Chains A and B, each alone.
Chain A
Amino acid sequence: MLTTLLIFVPLVGALLVWIAPLSRESTAGLALLVALAEVGLWLGSTRNFDFGSDVQQYSASQEWFEELGISYAVGLYGFQFWLVGLTVVVGACAIGYGAWANRDRARAYFGLMLFLIGSLVGVFASQDLILFYVFFEAMLIPIYVLVGVWGGPGRMKATLTFVLYTMAGSLLMLAAIIAFGISQGTFLLAEIGTSSNDLIFLGFMAAFAVKAPLLPFHGWLRAAYTEAPPEVAALLSGVVSKAAVFGLVWIVLPHFPQPVDDWRNVVLALAAATLVYGSVLAFRQPDVRGVIAYSSMGQMGLIVLGIFAVNDLGLDGAVLHSINHGLVSAGLFFVAGMIETRTGTGVFSELGGMAKGRPILATLVMVLGIFALAVPGSANFAGEFAILAGVFEHGWGYAAVGAGAIVLAALYALRLISAVLHERRGRSVREEPDDLVGSELILVVPLVAILAVLSAWPAGISERSFPADAPAAFIGAQSGEGLGTP
């Protein structure tokens, strides 16, 4: 029941916002209210969530199309719960940002944002393949409109590329879903067995490789992250990309053990290449958004590396890092947006010396940058360390590449910080100190605070992602008869 609420509260809110003929401020207020209610709902459910249990929490199941074996089935395990949490928190901050940025056509805008949040929660909570696909595609509609209407100058091409690319992958996945479901007689994830069909496996991989993204399916990334409004970019890189994480961990790994084994080295190599490629390119981007975009790509490569290690360290690390990266990326995009509002540009050659007179902005950029490069002691470090320690088992080369990426991350993160904050005042930077004000702080500081807490206590998530904290065994047990039988 609760899961259904979590999914439908934003959807119903979206509907309300669309119809209610309120002024711009009231619409923003209503949307914010719904988003915060959602966060409250999620927080409240933390108390009764049994993280160690084998059984799905807050699940609900309802036959939808009996003849085809499709059901409305939702439920949460630890890692899904955290992903939902990430969605609602970043979503609330994004809606706050939209309110602060005073977006025009408010009703359409806030309605779409809420709709996006609802579908994202649906993706993470679905336990039926067709339902998953429905929500997966439903995500695309609001993104298309949000980027296409409220985005930057090159937005049409960016959003079109994004949608076409994603749809191409999704259609392959749809074919795979249908083939898989029909052959098994049901679409319920709990009941569907395993398959060693390489083609079906590749169909799923296609969609997730585009979503993450992995090299070489990343062509949509740069344009989308740059042209999207900052809060949408935050959602894109912070949350939407994690749909791939969910799909890989919950659909691909448990149900395709043989193909995963066969293709493991290919995927690991691709993920490692993504990590290096993203980090190297991030180092030479001429603008703030570019750095964040390619850095995001690299980190997703790292996460996929952890997932395909298919062992305790890798999986726990991947989940932990997904949350961390989501928070950091979102925070960075918000700050980038605030910088763009003040200077009218994100290009490095126009920026510089912003630390003078802006201590709060400087602190935030510094803190987020440092978290992004996974300084030892940060939650990101804990996740990265666990992932690399896990993937070490499959080949020290991957871990070595990962360690090299640590140095690369230092390079691009420090470059970002210095280019914005240090040395001489850039051309577009104003002389009067226009530091961040309360209404802006409230969007970013909660993210930073959560990161700080996670840095002190990463076990908070890593211990509670999978039942009995034995992810590999749990995933292994998903195949075949269902739960509990290794």
Chain B
Amino acid sequence: MIFGSWVCLLAPLVGFLAILLAGTRITRRQAGILSTTSVFVGFAGALVAFFDAWGREPEERGELTTAWTWLKAGELEVGLELLIDPLSLVMMLVVTGIGGLIVLYSNGYMAGDDEERRYFAYMAFFVFSMLLLVMGGNLLLLLVGWGLVGLASYLLIGFHHERASAVAAAKKAFVINALGDALLALAFFLAIAKVGSLDFGVVFEAAESGELSDTVATLVALGLLGGAVAKSAQIPFHTWLPDAMEGPTPVSALIHAATMVTAGVYLICRTHPVFEAAPEVQHLAAILGLITLLVAGVVALVQWDIKRVIAYSTMSQIGYMFVGAGVGAYGFAMFHLVTHAFFKALLFLAAGLVIHHLSGEQDIRKMGGLRSSMRFTHLTFLVGTLALVGIPPLSGFWSKDAILASTLAEGGVLGWVLYVGGLVGALLTGLYSLRLYLLVFHGEPAAQAEAPHAEHAHHGEGPRSMTIPVAVLAVGSAVAGLLGIPGVWHPFEDWLHDVAEPLVEPSTRQEWLTSGLAVTLGVLGALLAWRAFKAGRELVPDGAVRTTLEHKLWFDELYDTVFSRPGQAIAVTLRDRFETPVVQGGLDEVAEGTLRGAAATSAAQSGLLRTYALAITISVAVLALVFLVVR
């Protein structure tokens, strides 16, 4: 298990370094092959580790392995250690498996781009960083992976750096992520001060045994939550995700759907003892998830960019995961993470096929009727959409409804609010998903769609490197959910049981009841979208509501006014009013004064012999007088 894990972690790193150091000595295709291979080798390693763990008794499935001491300062000792347990294995498989498929897809999608090598290097680097995050054996190493994926995200979003919008989006993403990093760091400082270590075991034990006071546990959990919210683009740190769609589509699929943004969910599940010691914060996580779920759902209703709709959908679905983690249904939250990874990546990649086919068009108003000209894409996109809405027996059905059932099982005011909100969210999901599907694939084809790019006359909908991953993901989206059929079998939940014991266990009755309600609402939403589409009108009529939604609830403007502008103003004011005049000016005075004094003094050295002689004479006379007087 250890060996497989190290292979898993290091293969992408080796791939990255190889591409980086080879530079222009390898062709672009070779870079792509190298990157893809390294990720799939990582997947193989993950599989090896997984099967090894599967064969063991549940208690023996967790192992800690240390490479060397990373940082040692006085009493704090942080090793370069990996924790391999069921939770990290799930993430490893998802990251390398789906990651590998997406990198494979990129070979086709990015073909012809000038800077392919850079792209593939960055992708391998991202996979490595994400693996470090999920395999990190202590909090500091997790933070390292955390920061590095933020870096990879910056590099990939800003890949097309000639575009000012891409550069700006990349910076925004990085800065908000850095804010999350800072909050995590603060939580860690507190942990070090109270517990003296950042090892999972030590911190979790302290949390469980009550060694940490309520305040401390709450503060630490808040810091953790802050980081999770920033990374997973939940409200209020969500503004970077829609802008991140500036990156190439495979990037959106990998980083902003399947893996990086789900890191927040992973974090909460991993550090659940701390959250359980601070239940108010855990409930806060659920509430933030709920708010995001609903807000993102309605904003998705007015988006015209195909990728932005899917992005808001991602935000919304992660909200579900936060709700799940917030009520303690860790297994279900992770289950939804896995199924979501499948169908969301599928949706993005299929959207990529559409964009590719239409030579870069992303506005859904300019699409339509692609059902007939892109049959394969149509089918797979439909599978993804239905999985997202939660139609049985596709995967989303099983996982999303499990979370909802857990909120029902939680009960109390919180539980009911979450339950109702979650059901409303199911309705919204149906609405925006079907709207997107119908506008792209049904109706009259828009003018541009009539004349597809000449290349595609040969390839059909896309080269095999692109269609195979999409097909695999479609299959996965369809069947992955079968890992958790309530009342029948739930291997996924069992797998994670020892690592993250759920706080609530919904009964089979609750689960089937919830499923019924959720499906009904989802179908209802789909039908409403169908009706609106047929009537040729938008779901949200023009007016104040629509404008607000189009401006994403004015969050960007709010942050700009409260943080951005004042911050810049402060910097400029400090520079112009304080630094330059006071400090520099004052010093200029000194320097100039010295120079003037020097010039004045040097006037005494006139060069005239007689002046000097006079000076000597006078001095002697004065001295003689002084001697006489003093004597």
Contacts and interface: CB of A to CB of B under 8 A. Distances in A.
A353 B145 CA distance: 30
Interface residues of A, number: 69
B6 interface: no
B586 A219 contact: yes
Given A316-B74, A359-B23, A403-B186, A377 B174 contact: no
Nearest to B172: A414
B175 interface: yes
Interface stretch (B65-73, B382-390, B474-482, B503-511): B65-73
Given A164-B590, A312-B74, A422-B162, A406 B584 contact: no
B190 interface: yes
Contacts of A382: 70-71
A383 B161 CA distance: 31
B587 A220 contact: yes
Interface stretch (B250-258, B458-466, B570-578): B570-578
A388 B189 contact: yes
A418 B571 contact: no
A164 B598 CA distance: 14
Contact of B171 (A313, A317, A355, A414): A414
B144 A381 contact: yes
A471 B132 CA distance: 31
Contacts of A406: 178, 181-182, 185
Which of A396, A403, A456 has the largest number of chain B CB atoms within 10 A? Answer: A403
A376 B144 contact: yes
Contact of A376 (B74, B175, B181, B190): B181
Interface string A338-365: 0000000000000001011001100100
Given A218-B583, A423-B164, A385 B185 contact: yes
A422 B167 contact: yes
Given A281-B579, A407-B182, A414-B154, A359 B24 contact: yes
Interface stretch (A24-32, A47-55, A251-259, A462-470): A462-470
A277 interface: yes
Given A392-B190, A410-B174, A313 B185 contact: no
B186 A411 contact: no
Given A403-B182, A469-B74, A284 B148 contact: no
Interface in A363-421: 363, 370, 373, 375-377, 381-382, 385-386, 388-390, 392-393, 396, 399-400, 403-404, 406-407, 410-411, 414-415, 418, 421
Contacts of B144: 376-377, 381
Contact of A423 (B74, B151, B167, B575): B167
A318 B86 CA distance: 39
Contacts of B587: 161, 165, 219-220, 223
Contacts of A386: 71, 73, 76
A463 B161 contact: no
Majority secondary structure, B binding face = helix
Contacts of B571: 280-281, 283-284
Interface in B122-170: 132, 140, 143-148, 150-151, 154, 158, 161-164, 167, 170
A359 B148 CA distance: 21
A424 B163 CA distance: 8
Which of A164, A219, A457 has the largest number of chain B CB atoms within 10 A? Answer: A219
A407 B177 CA distance: 9
B73 A410 contact: no
Nearest to B576: A284
B33 interface: no
B527 interface: no
Interface in A71-90: none
A472 B591 contact: no
B209 interface: no
Contacts of A161: 587-588, 590-591
Contact of A223 (B163, B179, B584, B586): B584
Given A220-B587, A422-B161, A472-B74, A392 B167 contact: no
Contacts of B572: 284
A424 B162 CA distance: 6
Interface string A146-165: 00000000000100110011
23 contacts: A160-B594, A164-B591, A218-B583, A219-B584, A223-B584, A281-B574, A313-B192, A316-B72, A320-B73, A360-B23, A375-B151, A376-B146, A392-B192, A406-B182, A414-B170, A414-B174, A415-B171, A418-B171, A424-B162, A457-B68, A457-B70, A462-B72, A472-B74
Given A376-B144, A403-B186, A422-B162, 14 more contacts: A164-B590, A218-B583, A316-B72, A316-B73, A376-B148, A382-B70, A403-B183, A403-B185, A410-B174, A418-B161, A418-B171, A423-B163, A423-B164, A469-B74
Interface of B: 20, 23-24, 68-76, 80, 118, 132, 140, 143-148, 150-151, 154, 158, 161-164, 167, 170-171, 174-175, 178-179, 181-183, 185-186, 188-190, 192-193, 568, 570-572, 574-575, 579, 583-584, 586-588, 590-592, 594-595
